[in-house]
Homo-oligomer: A and B are copies of this chain.
Amino acid sequence: MTKGNVAAPAPHRTPPEHVHPRDVPLETALAALSDPVRLALVRELAASDDWERTCGSFDVPVRKAALSHHFAVLRSAGLIEQRDAGAKRINRLRRAEFEERFPGLLALVLQQQAPGGGPE
């Protein structure tokens, strides 16, 4: 209570806490990938080089608060790694590690698009 009621949030330049895919339960990985926004993030990230995309550079229909949340979920699922670069935070898809823990899952997610993709 040093400052009335104004909560003092932890400094956000704490290095992002990462979870290695090795320590991720299958349910967590599947849940992380079952959200359309996160799926879009992963796919866009997969189409870019490592450490090339900042968090704000993705084309998803949510505001930055929600976006930040989704990145945290992806981190907790061992899907991405983040690094601070100046004021920005850059991302990398953990292809190899995730593939080792969940063989084929990432590939499935990246190549699958929509059901019934062919003509009717």
Residues of A in contact with B (beta carbons under 8 Å apart) = 22-28, 30-31, 33-36, 39, 101-105, 107-109, 112, 114-116
Q: Are the C-beta atoms of B114 and A108 separated by less than 8 Å?
A: no
Secondary structure call for the A interface? helix
Q: How many subunits of this chain does the assembly comprise?
A: 2
A103 in contact with B108 given A31-B31, A34-B31 (CB within 8 Å) = yes
List B contacts of A35 (CB < 8 A). 27
Q: Are the C-beta atoms of B34 and A27 separated by less than 8 Å?
A: yes
Q: Are the C-beta atoms of B27 and A114 separated by less than 8 Å?
A: no
Q: Are the C-beta atoms of A115 and B22 separated by less than 8 Å?
A: yes
* 28 contacting pairs across A/B (C-beta < 8 A): A23-B115, A23-B116, A24-B115, A25-B114, A25-B115, A26-B39, A26-B108, A26-B109, A26-B112, A26-B115, A27-B34, A27-B36, A28-B34, A30-B30, A30-B33, A30-B34, A31-B31, A31-B34, A34-B34, A101-B115, A102-B108, A103-B104, A103-B108, A104-B104, A104-B105, A104-B107, A104-B108, A105-B105
